[in-house]
């Protein structure tokens, strides 16, 4: 295996997805394997690219990156990190499509993210796979560092761009992680998602009892009018 995740004889190329790649796979994969990497912490600390990540150029949304655990331990984070595992999905790309997929990924993922390589542990205990992974390291301009979780959830709630609401990215990630394994939850993600649901509950309009009574009365009138009309026509 060479350093870039390609096995010389077999031309194997494996990619690790820990964000949107979990539920939006790359093209031309022929194997999809749930599992985890170690030595990192996943955080919603990267400013999103507005075309893909549900914000606008003036108010970009937030997306996830990986932070080396040894560096993360020096930071003042609001969320503890219980597990040393970051769950996600590894994809094997068809050998004849590797160059095409790498071009596609370079276009799709560029946004302060750079290419790294890491050992991936399949959930079923099969041998470790060397994977390529895109990481927004702390020296990139879009890296934000520790965020107040409530403010971060509010920011995600309010960011909307051409590809949809930023909150969908968070909620899809939470659901996709739940689907990988009984152990694949991530406390940072579930806390942000439950804060987001709390914000939605507080801010989304609930019809007042008066409004509901008016609507019921209008429905009643409509059905009485309908009956009278039918009787008039002698039907």
Segment lying near ligand BEZ (by CB under 6 A), choices 19-27, 155-163, 177-185, 198-206: 19-27
Q: How far is the CB of 123 from ligand BEZ (least distance, A)?
A: 17
Q: Of 17 and 61, which CB lies nearer to ligand BEZ in the complex structure?
A: 17
Contact between 62 and 49 under an 8 Å Cβ cutoff? The reply is no
Q: From CA 161, how far away is CA 49, in angstroms rounded?
A: 10
Q: How far is the CB of 30 from ligand BEZ (least distance, A)?
A: 19
Q: Of 172 and 199, which CB lies nearer to ligand BEZ in the complex structure?
A: 172
Measuring CA to CA, how many Å separate 58 from each of 55, 61, 63, 157? 8, 10, 16, 16
Q: Of 103 and 228, which CB lies nearer to ligand BEZ in the complex structure?
A: 103
Nearest to 183 by CA among 91, 90, 83, 89: 83
What is the bridge-based pairing of β-strands 62-68 and 129-135? Answer: unpaired
SS3 71: helix
| By the rule CB under 6 A, 60 interacts with ligand BEZ | no
Q: Does the CA dihedral 83-88-92-93 come out positive or negative?
A: negative
| By the rule CB under 6 A, 120 interacts with ligand BEZ | no
Q: Pick from 5, 14, 20, 130: which binds ligand BEZ (CB under 6 A)?
A: 20
Catalytic entry in 11, 12, 100, 109? 109
| Letter string b/e over residues 208-232, b meaning 16 or more CB atoms within 10 A of that residue's CB | eeeeeeeeeeeeeeeeeeeeeeeee
Q: How far is the CB of 14 from ligand BEZ (least distance, A)?
A: 13
Per CB under 6 A, contacts with ligand BEZ among 122-151 are: 134
The verdict on whether 204 is a catalytic residue reads: no
- How big is the site for ligand BEZ, counted in residues (CB under 6 A)? 8
Q: Pick from 18, 87, 120, 157: which binds ligand BEZ (CB under 6 A)?
A: 18
| By the rule CB under 6 A, 19 interacts with ligand BEZ | yes
- Residue identified by tokens 């990924």 is 105
Residues known to be catalytic:
109
Residues that bind ligand BEZ (CB under 6 A): 17-21, 109, 113, 134
């Amino acid at each position: 295996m060479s350093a870039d995740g390609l096995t010389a004889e077999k031309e194997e190329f494996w990619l690790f997805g820990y964000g949107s790649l979990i539920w939006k796979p790359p093209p031309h994969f022929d194997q999809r394997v749930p599992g985890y990497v170690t030595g990192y912490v996943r955080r919603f600390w990267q400013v999103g690219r507005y075309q893909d990540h549900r914000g606008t150029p003036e108010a970009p949304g937030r997306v996830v990156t990986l932070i080396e655990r040894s560096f993360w331990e020096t930071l003042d984070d609001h969320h503890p990190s219980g597990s040393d595992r970051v769950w996600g999905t590894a994809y094997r790309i068809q050998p004849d499509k590797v160059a095409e997929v790498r071009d596609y990924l370079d276009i799709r993922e560029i946004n302060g993210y750079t290419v790294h390589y890491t050992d991936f542990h399949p959930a079923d205990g099969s041998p470790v796979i060397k994977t390529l992974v895109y990481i927004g390291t702390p020296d990139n301009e879009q890296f934000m560092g520790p965020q107040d979780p409530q403010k971060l959830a509010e920011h995600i709630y309010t960011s909307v761009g051409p590809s949809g609401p930023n909150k969908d990215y968070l909620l899809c990630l939470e659901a996709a992680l739940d689907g990988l394994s009984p152990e694949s939850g991530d406390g940072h993600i579930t806390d942000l998602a439950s804060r987001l649901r709390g914000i939605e509950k507080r801010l989304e309009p609930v019809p007042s009892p008066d409004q509901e009574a008016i609507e019921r009365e209008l429905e009643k009138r409509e059905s009485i009018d309908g009956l009278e009309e039918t009787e008039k026509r002698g039907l």
